[in-house]
Chains A and B, each alone.
Chain A
């Protein structure tokens, strides 16, 4: 049973380009969470999605960032017109359910570097 799969593991983008990060949850999991981690800091919640629905995007910047979790395929976190401040590790976590579930399974993360 494969764990949470994120790709790419490392992504380099020039300022102004788009970054697209993918997350395939564990088999049987229908809830996906995206977190961002800056160096020497904890993970900050960005967005929570279920299949075809955004449940909570309170931690996601209003501009340039978007997320989706289509009926088929992985969840995608999209960052348009990247800036240096977007450089961070982006982690995806999945769980079989939302409320009441107390354990999240994390992927290895995508390290985004904006040059």
Chain B
């Protein structure tokens, strides 16, 4: 079967670093996407890992290890506006672009 696991909630202070882990079990894995969603609004694309390793985009980085079926999103220099839900979403070879979302991780940033 297919499964996707992320922590449900992470709390950290401004300026800290947060790592959101994602483990997946799915057939036809192609790559791993990350999306951010504020207060139930439109999910916005953060990053995509098609190859193993680290992808860096400003304060956010994402990592993928295919052999471990594992990835993470790293949020650095946390800001209050980073309080949101973060979803990892495997991209499948036969999925024609559709995404499989987990339950998401609620990140709470405190002063």
Interface secondary structure of B, over-half rule: loop
* Residue from A41, A104, A109 with most neighbouring chain B CB atoms (10 Å): A104
Contact B33 A43 (CB under 8 A): no
Q: Which chain A residues (52-101) contact chain B, with CB distance < 8 Å?
A: 55-56, 59, 89, 91, 93, 95, 97-101
Q: Which of A98-113 contact B (CB under 8 A)?
A: 98-109, 111
Chain B residues with a Cβ closer than 8 Å to the other chain, count: 22
Q: Which of A40, A43, A89, A93 has the most chain B CB within a 10 Å cutoff?
A: A43
Is there contact, CB below 8 Å, between A56 and B98? yes
Stretch at the interface among B13-21, B38-46, B61-69: B38-46
Q: Contact size class for A?
A: 20 to 34
A-B contact count (CB 8 A): 70
Which among B50, B99, B103, B104 is the interface contact of A104 at CB below 8 angstroms?
Answer: B99
Q: Which of A91, A97, A111 contacts B97 (CB 8 A)?
A: A97
- For A40, the chain B residues whose CB sits under 8 A away are 103
CB proximity of A103 to chain B, nearest CB, Å: 5
B41 proximity list for chain A (CB < 8 A): 108-109
Q: Please give me the residue from chain A that is nearest to B91 by CB atom.
A: A102
Partner of A102, one of B33, B96, B100, B103: B33
- Give the top 9 A-B pairs by smallest Cβ distance, nearest first: A42-B101, A98-B97, A98-B96, A106-B42, A102-B48, A43-B101, A103-B45, A106-B43, A45-B98
* B interface list, Cβ under 8 A from A: 31, 33, 40-45, 48, 50, 87, 91, 95-104
